[in-house]
Amino acid sequence: MPAVSKGDGMRGLAVFISDIRNCKSKEAEIKRINKELANIRSKFKGDKALDGYSKKKYVCKLLFIFLLGHDIDFGHMEAVNLLSSNKYTEKQIGYLFISVLVNSNSELIRLINNAIKNDLASRNPTFMCLALHCIANVGSREMGEAFAADIPRILVAGDSMDSVKQSAALCLLRLYKASPDLVPMGEWTARVVHLLNDQHMGVVTAAVSLITCLCKKNPDDFKTCISLAVSRLSRIVSSASTDLQDYTYYFVPAPWLSVKLLRLLQCYPPPEDAAVKGRLVECLETVLNKAQEPPKSKKVQHSNAKNAILFETISLIIHYDSEPNLLVRACNQLGQFLQHRETNLRYLALESMCTLASSEFSHEAVKTHIDTVINALKTERDVSVRQRAADLLYAMCDRSNAKQIVSEMLRYLETADYAIREEIVLKVAILAEKYAVDYSWYVDTILNLIRIAGDYVSEEVWYRVLQIVTNRDDVQGYAAKTVFEALQAPACHENMVKVGGYILGEFGNLIAGDPRSSPPVQFSLLHSKFHLCSVATRALLLSTYIKFINLFPETKATIQGVLRAGSQLRNADVELQQRAVEYLTLSSVASTDVLATVLEEMPPFPERESSILAKLKRKKGPGAGSALDDGRRDPSSNDVNGGVEPTPSTVSTPSPSADLLGLRAAPPPAAPPATSGAGNLLVDVFSDGPAAQPSLGPTPEEAFLSELEPPAPESPMALLADPAPAADPGPEDIGPPIPEADELLNKFVCKNNGVLFENQLLQIGVKSEFRQNLGRMYLFYGNKTSVQFQNFSPTVVHPGDLQTQLAVQTKRVAAQVDGGAQVQQVLNIECLRDFLTPPLLSVRFRYGGAPQSLTLKLPVTINKFFQPTEMAAQDFFQRWKQLSLPQQEAQKIFKANHPMDAEVTKAKLLGFGSALLDNVDPNPENFVGAGIIQTKALQVGCLLRLEPNAQAQMYRLTLRTSKEPVSRHLCELLAQQF
């Protein structure tokens, strides 16, 4: 690149930039910019003999003004004129202006293309590089059509300079990614591949990037690159750091090129040529050997470069999966990283070992590290590392260690992060089923799972245990006894009641001989849970009661009394009322034989793929199937262990609430459907329709919000579903929020769980969790009186434009809340874009005949969608300077309202959602944080700094974000917490 002479420094530009930086306000900056724009416009219009230096200076000023965020509507022609200059600096500024400001639809594009053609034909390497950079930066289809044929010719020309070849390769890569059809490689393919033999390492690096992209579409055309890539890799790996001085990075020869070559080789199977394969294996062994050598430098850059090559080498070894010796050595090397002090290395080691565990050659080697992985699951501070540890335990599990791994995962589940609990529940359920030798252990495990994490046990899990128990006679008695004992706990989860209701309804007779579990005792135990359950579970229990009449005739009078009670026959929920009426009539009218035929024991289910495994695949996302399928299936495992699942023989429509991840699997037909506001959780025992088939569902993010969709119109269950609810009230239909609404809202800015509101009639509790731009909130409405609430209707209302900023889907609740009872409402939330006002929660009901109404602010604030971001001090200050515009910063100095405790402050900042960055602020008393507000439309980066002054009992809070309203709003929210 030609040197820039001292005279090329543009003093006028430097003065202008200094003036802008010295402006004290936005208005002063705009005034100075307008003055400069007027001066530039007059110069361009008035002085026709403007020299190249002046044009360059003024174009630079226009470019700077544009980068400040102001519109530029002139100066384009002057920039195009600079392209014809023979001075490097003038031509450079012209190309820079065009790359930034000119779009592909500009009328000047033809003039620009002509200037680029002239520079490409000039054979001046500096001008050619500038032209190629401009093509790559603009990257439009028009430029691709104009130059796609010229660039390959320049790339392979024998007289092209190395810098030009490098630029041409990267330019061609950019055009290929934008418009693959415009780059016909046929005649150039062989010559491009031979660039791997080029003596200039920069050309080779650029060529590898290009070939890697091209071979993914046409692998056969570039197959000859394998031997050349292996040869080049061998020369790099075997060379000393002094051999490639210009491309040695902290004693590591050409690390970027090595990584690129290893990735290129992963596009193909192992080499067929024995000599090439032998040389490649030798290279991989050399890399593994070098990893064992003591480091040549204590600098982090040295270890990063060395480990980058090592991990890419291990990825290639895993990809080939054909060299047992290399696989075992790779596993041992990764095992050393499991206890490394660097978190990223531990994460990468766990991730790579998950893949190694699926190989028959290295599975046993992976298992030797089980104790280290279990320790990581217990002690790691980073949740992502703990999640990878759980993944690895799942991948390394087999019959020899299944009980140990399941036990450890259950123990971890009690303290696991909310974000990964559901995934761990699914994995425990799959492992317990797949490797169960003793089915009593399987039943114990699933019941323990429900006890520990009942909220995260989806319908698929407990449906599955019911199907297995139904299919295996040898476990039915034990399951009935175990679930009976579990139900005796003072507080048991509703899913436990569902499992207990089904199993005792089917197999309660197997334990009825014991006086401690006689039929009246079984009924009393189940009925004691009845009033604490949701409508769906009550519907299942009513079906259990009618089964009891068939199994235990001595309970008929008692059960008929329950069905005949006014609370059932006149129940406001039409489904419960219909069941009570029909079951009472059936038990009264039908003969013993008819009753036994209608209510006979469920037959074994036919087999199909496990819906739990399918659900876990969906949760892990595309591409996880191979890791989850785990081809190492035990020959001794039976069909149920192998992952096939029985299908019900009657129509089934699972609850939408069970389908968080998009799976539509059929539950066991234990009882008629509950089609009330609680959703269709059960299946009609009298239905004779075809079995529902699992269907492909939405992505996890879509399914997370599709939980409460009503049944499809063509579904048989749609005929039984509730009619469409009345339109939700708008903001004008509800009263204003209660006076203390803001105070109650502020309590939840830095926490997700607690009591939102409480008076002498009603208590409203909140439990919520958020990930990225999605959230789920559970609202618990408790009736503190002994009188039933009538017409109970909680509604979420979006004031103003909030409907376009925040999507909230609500699950309907029962219209009656019995005295002393509690009902739960589920809200699924999606942040579409940044918002300032929270949604409103309107609660209406009748108490003792008198209407009651209440309006609160729902604790959903913009910081709930914070994703913590870790960054080094250098990156933090660089980003802090980038967000230096006045409108991007919000600052507040305020007096402390609470005792100034450093640990409490730290907890509040973490609860607010940001990551706390250590050793960033020069003052250790200050707190520095970073994070990203995740919305569907965009991401908003956020940096914060909190400076406490203990002597003055004051704080100074500074927030900088990429959006002005977000800065102010977050500053106000956080300041109120201190």
Q: Mark the binding-site residues, compressed into ranges.
A: 11-12, 43, 53, 57-61
> Which amino acid belongs to residue 809?
Q
- Give the amino acid at 929: G
CB 360 within 8 A of CB 369: no
Decide: residue 581, CB within 10 A, 0-12 exposed, 13-18 middle, 19+ buried: middle
Dihedral (Cα; 180, 183, 184, 190), 10-degree rounding:
-110
State the Cα angle at 418 between 412 and 424, rounded to 5°: 50
**Which run of H or of E encompasses 842?**
strand 840-847
Cβ neighbourhood burial of 951 (10 Å; 0-12, 13-18, 19+): exposed
Q: Which long-range contacts (CB under 8 A, 24 or more apart) does 957-962 make?
A: 957/891, 957/892, 957/893, 957/894, 958/889, 958/890, 958/891, 959/889, 959/890, 959/891, 960/880, 960/883, 960/884, 960/888, 960/889, 960/890, 961/883, 961/888, 961/933, 962/883, 962/888
Which residues are 36's β-sheet partners? none
Going along 640-784, which residue ranges are E strands? 644-646, 753-758, 762-771, 774-783
Left (φ > 0), alpha (ψ -120 to 50) or beta: where does 542 sit?
Answer: alpha
**Residues 560, 563, 566: CA angle, nearest 5 degrees:** 125
From the number of C-beta atoms within 10 Å of its C-beta (0-12, 13-18, 19+), residue 672 rates as buried
- Radius of gyration of the CA atoms of the chain, in A: 34
Distance separating alpha carbons of residues 778 and 878, to the nearest angstrom? 40
For the purposes of burial, counting CB atoms within 10 Å of the CB of 285, is it exposed (0-12), middle (13-18) or buried (19 or more)?
middle
- Kindly state the tokens that stand for 178: 């934008």
CB 91 within 8 A of CB 82: yes
Point out which residues pair with 405 in neighbouring strands: none
Residue entry with tokens 């059932």: 568
Instruction: Catalogue the E-assigned strands of 614-676.
Output: 644-646
The residue behind tokens 């250790």 is 924
Tell me the residue type at 60.
Answer: C
Quick one: 125 exposed, middle or buried, by C-beta within 10 A (0-12, 13-18, 19+)? Answer: middle
Pairwise CA distance, residues 559 & 563, whole Å: 6
Which one, of 943, 936, 939, lies nearest residue 913 by Cα? 943
Beta strands 850-857 and 806-810: pairing type?
unpaired
Cβ-based neighbours of 135, under 8 Å, separated by 6 or more: 116, 143, 147, 151, 171, 174, 175
**End-to-end CA separation in angstroms for the chain:** 56
**Cβ atoms 717, 703 nearer than 8 A:** no
Please report, as a single letter, which amino acid is at residue 655. Answer: S
d(CA 577, CA 767): 31
Question: What is the rounded CA–CA span in Å between residue 363 and residue 356?
Answer: 7
Quote the CA–CA distance of 678 and 537 in Å, as a whole number: 9
Q: What is d(CA 968, CA 621) in angstroms, rounded to the nearest whole number?
A: 37
Count of helix runs (H) and strand runs (E) in the chain:
40, 18
Question: Do 175 and 151 touch, CB atoms closer than 8 A?
Answer: yes
